Structure 1
Amino acid sequence: MRFKVVSEYNPAGDQQEAISGLADGINRGYKRQTLKGVTGSGKTYTMAKVIEEIQKPTLVLSHNKTLAAQLYREFQDFFPENAVEYFVSYYDYYQPEAYVAKQDLYIEKDSSINEEIDRLRLQATASLMERRDVIIVATVSCIYGLGNPVDYHDMRIVLSKNTEMEQRKLLSQLVSLQYERSTTTLERGNFRVRGDVIEIGLTYSRHALRLEFSGDTLERIRTIDPLTGNTVREHDEAFVYPAKFFVTPQARVESALTGIRAELDARYHELLDNKKIVEAERLKMRTEYDLEMLGEMGYCSGIENYSRYLSGRGKGERPGVLLDFFPQDFLAFVDESHVTIPQVGGMYEGDRARKLSLVEYGFRLPSALDNRPLVFNEFEKLLGTTIFVSATPSAY
């Protein structure tokens, strides 16, 4: 489907010149342009008309949740027929894991996750997998590691009506995607089996998926309301995406366990050689527990700290982030860029300082340092065609 702006307004004043100029610049291959305008000058409408003109998947980057939510609502109004998505931090409360050496104080990670925002984040990436008419309004938290987009795509379950599909194999696949089996209520992130009917509480939708089998033949695929069971839509084909971003093929889990054990052994002896016995034993105990959980369940608390191994990255290699889920030709707007750009540039150092202390005192392996946000030059390289939007633009 094509992007189509729905509005009772037409471009006024300098808007048409700005729209035409920006679109022409993009078509000429300009990678960086600036849209200058004060608050209330109709910058969002101008951005919407450029998107309509260029017809490319679009990222709109904001520096805080409040402004992102406002932009999200405005773009939803302008593009009611297209996929306008919202991608911000899903924490209502977040206390990162830390160690304060001067006080010998370990602070365990503590957080409260907003389930609705988590759903919207997963819905955003699912939309990018299925269509091109997608606008994602995001905050700078999108430069944090998100898992491997190739794994996310390849591990999805493809469902086709009137095809053979062994039910037992399907249930096993759902578990590998981090869905949990339920014998009672159908909720987000679980599935239940009733005779020849399998119902899946999708994590990226308000609706559930009902699959009706005759033996091992999938006869009917329906989107349903999980509360009433009423049909929302019939499908000939449907996809089930992972319940969480950090999912890993089983073969990679096995190789990851080997890599983590090897690093643990080397780091353990390094700490002992430096007379850090307490740190060595602490690291061994914590990591071996995580290894046991990963081996048995495919998941553990703080799994993101092992993301280098689980995503198959090399030492120091950047993590996969939201921008990797976009096709290469995507368009980006950096809103309030005079604030947003410095914010992106400052996130890496603060994160690294905290993790260095955890590594030094035996709470984490050195590879945990690769669970990080992008550094600024990595962010720049991922941006393709970009328009900076600001009332007070300046060089950076």
Structure 2
Amino acid sequence: MPQFELVSEFAPSGDQPTAIAALVRGIKEEKKSQVLLGATGTGKTFTMANVIQQCQRPALVLCHNKTLAAQLYGEFKDFFPNNAVSYFVSYYDYYQPEAYIPQRDIYIEKDSSINEEIDRLRLLATSALVSRRDVIVVASVSCIYGLGSPKDYLEMMIPLHVATEINRDDFLRRLVEIHYERNDIELSRGKFRVRGDVIEIWPAYEEFCYRVELWGDEIEKLSIIHPVSGESSKPLTDVYIYPAKHFVLPQSRVDAALEEIELELNQQLAKFQAEGKLLEAQRLAARTRHDIELLREIGFCPGIENYSRALANRKKGEPPATLYDFFPDDFLLFVDESHATVPQIRAMYNGDQARKSTLVDHGFRLPMALDNRPLKFEEWNNRRHQTVFVTATPADWELDQAEGEIVEQIIRPTGLVDPVIHIHPARGQVPHLIEQIKERAERGERTLVTALTKRLSEDLVGYLK
């Protein structure tokens, strides 16, 4: 099994060695929560990387927005070029959630644009987590939303081994079951093509394709090929094909779920009719029965996540499976900028429930749609394992979780200190500013002046001219 291998031309310096040693010691002592209080520019990412390398455990780095996640993903990729560093954020370039405004009788249908590359990286993250331990996932808070079950995801994986028997038609059928589409003309991500006994598959999570060559019912050859040129670059003895979507189930489970969906539909229709809500009943019946037919015929429908409680065989109110469930029990969690990330996690559940409750009350969704949700804060807190809250300004909750113990990282590796700040009264500020500018100009230095608004900065420029 590959080990984490930190690659850097720099060694820890400043406060980093002390902070790394303290955090590693706390992890080995099985402390659930620690706080890394790191000033700006002290190299907190490098400290996290060293902790991961010394502990040799899978890690989840949680960020409060996509921009910060992308920045950290790039840094960790540089620190761990020989390990699996993955990026897991919302894959929508544009997202308009399904909603209903009863005051104006306006229904807003779900509309979205999926970023194919981010979708690939999300699938790459989960495929790495179920196949190896040297994995770092940098994720936004959207990772606490429901995802398919890791158990189903792993069970639906297709293993291929050279010199083993496989029925060609059964193999093609299984590819379709895990949401790969057949296209014999144009091969693209998440699709496969068949040419006689040669099957070429482009995994939804890779940038290359697999070629499977059969001799009768035996796998004769496995290889990696370039998706454009088709040239074979590397022969293989084993290949594992993971599903093209996170929500994946065997058809037997889908059939069982349909019974539960139909039962809840009948109960909700009876409720609406008893309340005299005939329009809501008609609306719910038409939409749900259309979805049931799609699930029965092709095993998928738009908005399938709204039926995830039945499909995953969960009880009412039971938390959904999330990215956390793909990690082993001993993974490390780093909550970056925790003063901003933790409040976001607190707020996500309530906002989601308010919107979906309106949809359920007016017949657009079954009540089970309420269980397609992010984790509640308490559920997230219970699921997180050993955690390091990384921030320059820890909030009371983080300090309470760490029982007041703080690992400080104040001295920068560069040795640079913060400039001395002088506060002057607002009265006479412009003459004072001009005096300071002249003083800097005499020394051949430059001056940067920041103003509160664009208009104020324009007026100041006009005055100085």
2:75 partner letter: E
Matching residue of 2:22: 21
Q: Distance in 2 between matches of 1:231 and 1:146?
A: 34
Matching residue of 1:373: 374
Q: Distance in 2 between matches of 1:76 and 1:104?
A: 49
SS in 2 for 1:103: coil
Q: Distance in 2 between matches of 1:149 and 1:129?
A: 8
Superposition deviation, residue 366 in structure 1: 0.4
Gap regions ≥5 residues in structure 2: 398-465
Residue pairs, 1:240-389, within 5 angstroms = 240-389=241-390
SS in 1 for 2:130: helix
Q: Greater CA radius of gyration, 1 or 2?
A: 2
Superposition deviation, residue 195 in structure 1: 1.0
Are 1:126 and 2:100 counterparts?
no
SS in 2 for 1:387: strand
Residue pairs, 1:79-228, within 5 angstroms = 79-228=80-229
Matching residue of 1:36: 37
2:140 partner letter: T
Q: Per-residue displacement from partner, 1:72-121 (whole Å, max 9, x unpaired)? A: 00000000110100000000000000000001000000000000000000
2:347 partner letter: G
Q: Distance in 2 between matches of 1:327 and 1:130?
A: 11
1:284 partner letter: A
Gap regions ≥5 residues in structure 1: none
Q: Distance in 2 between matches of 1:395 and 1:384?
A: 20
Superposition deviation, residue 185 in structure 1: 1.0
For normalisation by structure 2, the TM-score amounts to 0.85
SS in 1 for 2:301: coil
Q: Per-residue displacement from partner, 1:165-219 (whole Å, max 9, x unpaired)? A: 0010000000000111112011111111001100111100011111001011001
Q: Distance in 1 between matches of 2:143 and 2:30?
A: 26
Q: Distance in 2 between matches of 1:227 and 1:198?
A: 15
2:93 partner letter: D
1:381 partner letter: N
2:261 partner letter: I
Q: Per-residue displacement from partner, 1:115-154 (whole Å, max 9, x unpaired)? A: 0000000000000111100000000000001111100001
SS in 2 for 1:164: coil
SS in 2 for 1:44: helix
Superposition deviation, residue 251 in structure 1: 1.0
Q: Distance in 1 between matches of 2:65 and 2:233?
A: 35
Superposition deviation, residue 391 in structure 1: 0.3
Q: Distance in 2 between matches of 1:195 and 1:93?
A: 41
SS in 2 for 1:36: strand
Q: Per-residue displacement from partner, 1:252-299 (whole Å, max 9, x unpaired)? A: 101100000010001001100000000001100000000000000100
Matching residue of 1:45: 46
1:261 partner letter: E
Q: Distance in 1 between matches of 2:256 and 2:178?
A: 18
Q: Distance in 2 between matches of 1:239 and 1:51?
A: 27
1:253 partner letter: V
Q: Please, what is the CA RMSD of the aligned residues?
A: 0.6
1:289 partner letter: H
Q: Per-residue displacement from partner, 1:37-68 (whole Å, max 9, x unpaired)? A: 12211000000000000000000000001100
SS in 1 for 2:90: coil
For normalisation by structure 1, the TM-score amounts to 0.99
Q: Per-residue displacement from partner, 1:297-353 (whole Å, max 9, x unpaired)? A: 100010000000111111111110001000011011000000000000100000000
SS in 2 for 1:163: coil
SS in 1 for 2:61: strand
Are 1:67 and 2:68 counterparts?
yes
SS in 2 for 1:130: coil
Q: Distance in 2 between matches of 1:191 and 1:278?
A: 44
Q: Distance in 2 between matches of 1:319 and 1:227?
A: 39
Q: Distance in 1 between matches of 2:192 and 2:237?
A: 20
1:269 partner letter: A
Superposition deviation, residue 4 in structure 1: 1.1
Q: Distance in 1 between matches of 2:160 and 2:184?
A: 23
Superposition deviation, residue 233 in structure 1: 2.5
1:238 partner letter: V
Matching residue of 1:3: 4
Percentage identity across aligned positions? 57
Q: Distance in 2 between matches of 1:334 and 1:121?
A: 19
Say how many residue pairs are matched.
Answer: 396
